[in-house]
Structure 1
Amino acid sequence: MPQTPHQRAEAELTAYGLTFPETTSGPAWLPARGLYVRKKMFCVFGAKGEPLDALTILMKLPISAEMAEELSFVRPAKGWFKQHNWVTAHFEPEDDVLAEMATLKGWLRQSYVAVAPKKLGRELAD
């Protein structure tokens, strides 16, 4: 069965994230999938009840969280997530997630640097 654009986007972002130092992938909370650096999560894919042709992504964006909330595909953060600069990007089946890949990759990198130990974050920044 061919992948949806949303599944392709998640696969591409996961592959990109796995190029960062000491990054692993694995389950987050069910049914979500996560990317981790030294067992600390820096990205979550998926949400409860989400169809295969939709995609939700959570990332920590200490630099651009406020700006990101202005984008049409970003849901307003609440509670703990807002206090700690986590952003939720949500793409419905009709949304063109592949058009946003450059932005999402930049956010993934920013989230990694925010969560990773300083030495690893500097490795990626250099």
Structure 2
Amino acid sequence: MPQTPHQRAEAELTAYGLTFPETSAGPGWTVTRALYVRKKMFAVFGEKGEPRDALTLIMKLPISAEMAEELAFVRPAKGWYKQHNWVTAHFEPDDDILAEMATLKGWLKQSYVAVAPKALGRVLG
């Protein structure tokens, strides 16, 4: 079965994230997938009950969280997530996720730098 654009986007973002120093992929919470730097999660893919042709991403954006919340595909952050600058981007089946890849890659890098130990973050910084 061919991949949906959302699955291709997740695969491309995961491959990009795995180029960062000391990064690994593994399970996130319940049914999610995640990227880790030294066992610290910096990106989460998926959501419980999410269809194959949709995608939710959660990343820490200390620099651009407030700006990101203005985008149509970003859900309003609440509670702990808002307090700690984590942003949830959600793409429905009809959304053009591939058009947002440059933004999502930038956010992935920003999230890595925010979560990684300072010496590793400076490598990408």
State the distance in 2 between where 1:34 and 1:97 align.
18
3-state SS of 1:106 partner: helix
Counterpart CA distance in 1 for 2:68 and 2:85 is 10
The one-letter code matched in structure 2 to 1:119 is A
Matches of 2:13 and 2:85, distance apart in 1 = 20
- CA–CA separation in structure 2 for the residues paired with 1:29 and 1:104: 21
* Corresponding residue for residue 124 of structure 2: 124
What is the identity, as a one-letter code, of the residue corresponding to 2:43? C
User: 1:98 corresponds to which residue?
Assistant: 98
Residue 32 of structure 1 is matched in structure 2 by 32
CA offsets 1:14-54 (integer angstroms, 9 cap, x no match): 00000000000000011000000000000000000000000
Q: 2:69 aligns to what?
A: 69
Greater than 2 Å deviation, 4+ residue runs: none
Amino acid corresponding to residue 16 of structure 2 in structure 1: Y
State the partner residue of 2:12. Answer: 12
Partner of 2:44: 44
Where in structure 1 are there 5+ consecutive unaligned residues? none
Percent of paired sites with the same residue: 84
TM-score by structure 2 length?
A: 0.99
Alpha-carbon shift at residue 124 of structure 1 (Å): 1.2
SS at match of 2:56: strand
Equivalent AA in structure 2 for residue 72 of structure 1: A
The root-mean-square deviation of aligned C-alpha atoms, in Å, is 0.3
